[in-house]
Structure 1
Amino acid sequence: MPIDINGLGINQPASSSRVKTQTTEQQKTSDTGTTAASGDKVQLSSEAMSLQSLEDQVHQLSDFDQDKVDRVKAAIADGSYSVDANSTARKMLDFDALMS
């Protein structure tokens, strides 16, 4: 059974905005000199920076393929779109088995 930690589900990546907000708040605090210790330093590994870059690229992608949607709409409109009922049923059963 998956465990929900800090409001994050299994399929939800950690939000970089939360980290950025915390960093901004920490910078404001360090500007006032109240809690930040001088000389503290954080350095991200090249792997972490690469992952951050990939996450930013993924967020810029569209949630769906508009060209594919247009092709399917056109196929439905001209009557050439066909559905393999056996394949659809098999995939539904496979999905149900996966979720059980």
Structure 2
Amino acid sequence: MLDKISGVYGPTAAGKLKSKRDRPSPARDVRGDGAEFSSFAVELAKASAELKKIPDVREQLVDDFKKRIAEGTYSPDLNSVARSLINAGLLDQKD
């Protein structure tokens, strides 16, 4: 029995160990650093980029209103304006 123990811990025991080169390496992810985006995220990014191209103010419409106001020909529907203000929470509705 002593021979078995000395065989494990003796000078030749180290030769029985496999070097790292002989061992199979664990599977590795060779893609490296990076990210994968879903098709929804890609479409969302495209839509966001297109949205940034649209101006915040429709200049032609604003110029048309300015012209009509200056000429005195602009007459808004006041009920529609009041309804829009109430719906937007900018005006309290009085019964």
Interval of TM-score (by shorter of Structure 1 and Structure 2): 0.5 to 0.7
Provide the C-alpha distance between the structure 2 equivalents of 1:61 and 1:87, rounded to a whole number of angstroms. Answer: 27
Matched, 1:79 2:72: yes
Identity of aligned residues (%): 33
Choose from 65, 75, 93 the match for 2:58: 65
Report the TM-score when normalising by structure 2.
Answer: 0.53
Structure 1 or 2, whichever has the larger Rg, is 2
**What value does the CA root-mean-square deviation take over the aligned residues?**
1.9
- Following TM superposition, by how much is the alpha carbon of 1:87 offset from its aligned partner in structure 2, in angstroms? 1.7
Q: Deviations over 1:40-65 (max 9, x none)?
A: 33111222111111111111221111
Report the TM-score when normalising by structure 1.
Answer: 0.51
Q: Deviations over 1:13-59 (max 9, x none)?
A: xxxxxxxxxxxxxxxxxxxxxxxxx8233111222111111111111
Task: Output the amino acid matched with 1:94.
Answer: N
Corresponding residue for 1:45? 38
- Following TM superposition, by how much is the alpha carbon of 1:90 offset from its aligned partner in structure 2, in angstroms? 2.0
Task: Output the amino acid matched with 1:67.
Answer: Q
The secondary structure found in structure 2 opposite 1:40 is coil
Q: Which runs of 4+ in 1 moved over 4 A?
A: none
Q: Which runs of 5+ in 2 are unaligned?
A: 1-30
Provide the C-alpha distance between the structure 2 equivalents of 1:85 and 1:44, rounded to a whole number of angstroms. Answer: 49
Corresponding residue for 1:28? none
Provide the C-alpha distance between the structure 1 equivalents of 2:38 and 2:87, rounded to a whole number of angstroms. Answer: 40
Q: Greater helix percent: which structure? A: 1
Provide the C-alpha distance between the structure 2 equivalents of 1:51 and 1:63, rounded to a whole number of angstroms. Answer: 19
Provide the C-alpha distance between the structure 2 equivalents of 1:75 and 1:94, rounded to a whole number of angstroms. Answer: 26
